[in-house]
């Protein structure tokens, strides 16, 4: 059990003192009146059917869905392109290098606009996903709305997922490539000696060994995806940052809204980081 020492107590006192000073200075210097009592109504609200999520909590859940799907797609992209970069032909290595260097050297905001306005919006409008969803059953609309987004926002949501996955996939690619390269070449020879073909050796022998080494960096990239998802507010994805701006424009409670948004992001990322740390510690114990 962890015991607080003198340094811990001093650090807590300093943090508490800074927070008290900050709130006091905002009130005095800016003549700002704190109105925290309004914020809970934008998290949950009471209707005839009971308590339901309101703008900020809806944005919180949208951020979670967006981050999960983008991470899954980025992982697929990262494994495929990472394998190309680590063990592909010269042409495959060049294509993988071109993808990684292109994405990593383009500002994320520019990438969002390029993909949304010039590629994704046209392609998704052509598919007519929103029209098909409107013509589907209530159960289908409810399931799709729970897993992704409602029909009015489905195109924008998928556009955000694809854009975020492409951006994060470049970083996942380098993580996967590093893990694959770290596996000794003798493992390939041992796998082939057992009669496995090259793709079987990769799937059943090389990739599992690499995954044990890259799970922790991949988990860290998932946390980065959650934070990077905030930039999707510029294309009107109704995630947490976008909803925070909506609430702020309606209430003019600048500090209350953004402090609440910050706390929601912190709760999500910190809880996941602690879960990742526990999982990583257990894996290291099992390894030893």
Give yes or no: residues 98 and 68 share one domain.
Answer: yes
CA-to-CA separations, 41 to 11, 27, 57, 239, 240, in angstroms, rounded: 33, 23, 10, 18, 15
Q: What is the pLDDT of residues 118-165, one digit of tens each?
A: 766 677 777 777 788 888 888 888 898 888 888 888 888 888 999 999
Are 23 and 118 found together in one domain? no
CATH code of residue 272: 1.10.3720.10
The Cα–Cα gap between 214 and 212 comes to: 6
pTM of the model: 0.86
Domain that holds residue 255: 33-287
218, 204: one domain: yes
Q: Which residues of 83-110 are buried (b: 16+ CB within 10 A; e: fewer)?
A: bbbbbbeeebeeebeebbeebeeeeeee
**Is residue 264 over pLDDT 70?**
yes
Q: Round the CA-based radius of gyration of the chain to a whole number and report it.
A: 23
Give whole-number Cα distances, 85 to 49, 63, 91, 171, 196, in Å.
Answer: 54, 31, 10, 13, 22
Of 58 and 20, which is predicted with more confidence? 58
Cβ within 8 Å of residue 15, ≥6 positions away: none
Sort 14 into a burial class: Cβ within 10 Å, 0-12 / 13-18 / 19+: exposed
| 27 and 39 together in one domain | no
Query: What's the rounded mean pLDDT across residues 208-229?
Result: 88
Give the range among 70-74, 173-177, 243-247, 252-256 with minimum mean pLDDT: 252-256
Q: In whole angstroms, what is the distance from residue 147 CA to residue 133 CA?
A: 13
Closest CA to 83 of 11, 2, 188: 188
* 288, pLDDT greater than 90: no
pLDDT of residue 287: 61
CB 238 within 8 A of CB 56: no
| Nearest residue to 268 (alpha-carbon basis) of 63, 70, 42 | 63
Tally of domains within the chain = 2
pLDDT of residue 136: 85
- Statement to judge: residues 5 and 105 lie in one domain: no
Q: Are residues 24 and 106 in the same domain?
A: no
The pair of three-digit structure tokens given for residue 238, joined into one six-digit string: 């109704």
Q: Indicate if 49 and 69 belong to the same structural domain.
A: yes
- More confident site: 191 or 86: 86
Query: Are 37 and 23 within one domain?
Result: no
Evaluate whether 267 touches 280 at the Cβ level (below 8 Å).
no
Mean predicted lDDT score pLDDT of the chain? 86
Beta bridge partners of 44: 53
Work out the average pLDDT over 192-208.
82
Q: Kindly state whether residues 13 and 55 are assigned to the same domain.
A: no
User: What integer is the mean pLDDT of 65-79?
Assistant: 94
- Looking at the structure, do residues 40 and 27 belong to the same domain, yes or no? no
């Amino acid at each position: 059990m962890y015991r607080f020492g003198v340094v811990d107590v001093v650090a807590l006192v300093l943090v508490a003192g800074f927070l008290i000073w900050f709130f006091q200075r905002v009130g005095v210097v800016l003549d700002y009146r704190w109105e925290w009592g309004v914020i809970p109504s934008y998290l949950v609200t009471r209707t005839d059917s009971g308590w339901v999520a309101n703008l900020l909590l809806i944005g919180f859940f949208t951020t979670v869905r967006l981050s999960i799907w983008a991470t899954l797609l980025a992982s697929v992209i990262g494994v495929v392109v990472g394998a190309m970069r680590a063990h592909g032909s010269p042409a495959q290595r060049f294509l993988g290098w071109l993808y990684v260097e292109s994405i990593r050297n383009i500002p994320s905001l520019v990438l969002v606009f390029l993909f949304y306005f010039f590629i994704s919006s046209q392609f998704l409008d052509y598919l007519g996903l929103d029209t098909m969803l409107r013509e589907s059953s209530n159960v289908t609309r409810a399931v799709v709305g729970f897993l992704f987004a409602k029909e009015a926002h489905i195109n924008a949501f998928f556009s955000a997922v694809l854009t975020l996955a492409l951006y994060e996939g470049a970083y996942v690619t380098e993580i996967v490539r590093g893990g694959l390269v770290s596996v000794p070449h003798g493992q390939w020879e041992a796998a082939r000696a057992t009669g496995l073909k090259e793709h079987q050796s990769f799937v059943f022998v090389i990739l599992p060994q690499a995954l044990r080494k890259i799970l922790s960096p991949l988990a860290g990239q998932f946390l980065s995806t959650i934070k990077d998802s905030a930039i999707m507010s510029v294309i009107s994805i109704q995630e947490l940052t976008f909803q925070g701006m909506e609430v702020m424009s309606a209430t003019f409670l600048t500090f209350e809204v953004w402090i609440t948004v910050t706390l929601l992001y912190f709760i999500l990322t910190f809880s996941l980081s602690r879960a990742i740390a526990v999982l990583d510690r257990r894996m290291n114990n099992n390894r030893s």
